């Protein structure tokens, strides 16, 4: 391959990469993580749905839904009819009417108020309060899951951007190696094979960079979709992956016992079952109701003894309903509720153990990732020094291009491993904070 063709070939390799670097470096609106969280809390459809469901439980948490308030209704009835009558008296007299009309108007305002129902209404009201609190917890869980998912994607994007920078540096190094190989070939100190191998490696680094940029672009699309905005919205991220190294497993477990959302939800379910049992027990007691109202009744008739009748005035009364037998339905319902209580109590213990187990597992991953981060940081320092020495040795012909490439690949691998382990440590940290109820402010 002559020098002109070689130069032309290199332009075909470098030009697309340089254009990609240029467009990637163009000014784009900088988006911070706090801004992204603010957007997702406002736009995320999952959060919006849970928020609406929470409003429903808040509205249902009212004395009227518990039966603690009276019901008042106004009724009115008007009837009219035509009738033919034949009346025979004991005296032998008869009386007949053809198409005799009659009307009845009955109306009034009536009140019904339950005075006592075995304290069932109070249990129902407390249950409604717990259901409203459950709705609040469901909203919090959705927010936690949404923010955690956003932060996971966010730091994956940061890691990909740094990985792209590593490959960008690899391209610079491969290009420098190519220039050295050409200079050595021109001086007669190396064969054309070194030049060709440098081109192959440069091409491989460029392809890897282009693929990495594709992952960066697609991750931004996913984040845009998660934020509920146009997938093509441009933004840039100037962030670092900084890991909180101060987490202690016992502190996380302690916080989880009182703040973990899954445990809190199970505790709330257990409390609701207790109140359902109280509601069922109330069905064993008598019910005392107060009724009252004001009625108005007027009737007219063209046949019969009374031409018209008018009555109106207030009324009041007490009604007691004593349950005697309902086919053992209530007692069996209580037995079923008792079993449900055992189920929720067991599920609570199961959830507590599962959370504690998961905390232990994730904490082990967290500690291991931190150790590997420190190890890779030391490896990178050595790798960077080694590549400088290798470049000088390659320039003077003391090592081959293959050996230089191996040393270069060692540095690339070390850089990427550090990024991966740092991301693992950060994600483990976020997971631990989520398990401990410390990811967001309750």
pLDDT of residue 190: 61
pLDDT of residue 1: 45
Q: What angle do CA 338, 342, 347 make, to 5 degrees?
A: 145
Q: Is 397 helix (H, G, I), strand (E, B) or coil?
A: coil
Q: What is the mean pLDDT of residues 141-166?
A: 94
pLDDT of residue 161: 93
Higher pLDDT, residue 333 or 28? 333
> What would the two tokens of residue 251 be?
């502190």
Least confident piece of the model among 91-95, 105-109, 220-224, 313-317: 91-95
Between the alpha carbon of residue 386 and those of residues 169, 379, 383, 389, 399, the distances in Å are 15, 10, 5, 5, 13
Domain boundaries, the chain: 3-61+117-285+323-435, 70-116+287-322
Band (26; pLDDT cuts 50, 70, 90): low
Higher pLDDT, residue 438 or 179? 438
Res 250 pLDDT > 70? yes
Interatomic CA distance for residues 430 and 366, integer angstroms: 10
Q: What is the DSSP-derived secondary structure letter of residue 398?
A: S
Give residue-wise pLDDT tens across range 53-79: 999 999 999 999 999 999 999 999 998
Q: What angle do CA 69, 277, 54 make, to 5 degrees?
A: 60
Give residue-wise pLDDT tens across range 402-438: 888 888 888 888 889 999 999 999 999 999 999 999 9
* Statement: 3-61+117-285+323-435 belongs to CATH 3.90.79.10: no
Q: What is the DSSP-derived secondary structure letter of residue 118?
A: T
Res 184 pLDDT > 80? no
Give residue-wise pLDDT tens across range 292-308: 999 999 888 766 667 78
Higher pLDDT, residue 12 or 79? 79
Partners of 96 in the β-ladder? 86
pLDDT of residue 196: 82
Res 315 pLDDT > 80? yes
Interatomic CA distance for residues 291 and 112, integer angstroms: 5
| Residues with Cβ within 8 Å of residue 141, at least 6 apart in sequence | 261, 262, 265
Interatomic CA distance for residues 366 and 359, integer angstroms: 10
| Residues with Cβ within 8 Å of residue 307, at least 6 apart in sequence | 300, 301
Interatomic CA distance for residues 85 and 349, integer angstroms: 78
pLDDT of residue 159: 95
Residue whose C-alpha is closest to residue 31's, from 23, 39, 42: 39
Q: What is the mean pLDDT of residues 307-312?
A: 84
Mean pLDDT, the chain, rounded, equals: 87
Phi-psi group of 239: left, alpha or beta (phi > 0 → left; psi -120 to 50 → alpha; rest → beta): beta
Q: What angle do CA 69, 73, 76 make, to 5 degrees?
A: 170
> What would the two tokens of residue 356 be?
């504690």
Percent of the chain with pLDDT over 70: 91
Give residue-wise pLDDT tens across range 85-100: 777 767 777 777 777 7
Interatomic CA distance for residues 370 and 243, integer angstroms: 8
Q: What is the mean pLDDT of residues 264-291?
A: 95
């Amino acid at each position: 391959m002559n020098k002109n063709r070689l130069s032309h070939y290199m332009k075909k390799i470098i030009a697309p990469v340089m254009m990609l670097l240029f467009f990637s470096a163009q000014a784009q609106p900088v988006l911070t993580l706090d801004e992204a969280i603010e957007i997702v809390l406002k736009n995320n459809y999952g959060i919006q749905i849970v928020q609406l469901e929470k409003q429903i439980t808040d509205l249902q948490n009212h004395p009227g839904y518990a039966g603690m308030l009276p019901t008042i209704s106004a009724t009115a009835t008007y009837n009219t009819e035509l009738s033919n009558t034949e009346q025979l008296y004991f005296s032998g007299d008869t009386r007949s009417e053809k198409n005799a009309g009659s009307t009845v108007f009955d109306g009034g305002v009536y009140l019904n108020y339950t005075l006592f129902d075995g304290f069932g209404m109070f249990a129902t009201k407390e249950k409604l309060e717990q259901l409203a609190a459950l709705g609040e917890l469901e909203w919090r869980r959705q927010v936690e899951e949404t923010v955690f998912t956003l932060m996971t994607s966010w730091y994956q994007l940061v890691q990909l951007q740094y990985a792209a920078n590593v490959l960008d540096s690899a391209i610079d190094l491969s290009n420098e190696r190519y220039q050295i190989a050409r200079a050595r070939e021109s001086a007669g100190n190396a064969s054309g094979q070194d030049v060709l191998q440098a081109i192959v490696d440069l091409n491989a680094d460029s392809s890897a960079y282009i693929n990495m940029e594709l992952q960066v672009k697609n991750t931004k699309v996913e984040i845009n979709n998660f934020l509920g905005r146009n997938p093509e919205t441009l933004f840039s991220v100037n962030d670092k992956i900084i890991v909180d190294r101060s987490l202690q497993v016992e502190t996380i477990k302690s916080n989880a016992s009182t703040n973990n959302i899954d445990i809190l939800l199970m505790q709330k379910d257990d409390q609701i079952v207790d109140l359902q049992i109280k509601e069922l027990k109330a069905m064993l007691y008598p019910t005392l109701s107060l009724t009252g109202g004001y009625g108005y009744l007027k009737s007219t008739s063209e046949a019969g003894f009374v031409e018209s009748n008018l009555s109106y005035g207030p009324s009041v009364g007490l009604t007691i309903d004593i349950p005697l037998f309902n086919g053992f339905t209530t007692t069996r319902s209580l037995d079923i509720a008792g079993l449900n209580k055992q189920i929720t109590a067991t599920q609570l213990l199961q959830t507590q153990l599962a959370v504690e187990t998961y905390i232990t597992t994730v904490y082990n991953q967290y500690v291991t990732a931190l150790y590997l981060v420190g190890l890779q940081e030391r490896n990178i320092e050595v790798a960077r020094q080694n590549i400088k020495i290798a470049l000088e040795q390659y320039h003077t012909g003391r090592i081959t291009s293959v050996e230089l490439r191996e040393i270069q690949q060692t540095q690339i691998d070390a850089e990427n491993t550090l990024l991966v382990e740092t991301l693992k440590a950060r994600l483990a940290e976020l997971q631990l904070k989520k398990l401990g109820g410390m990811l967001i402010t309750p």
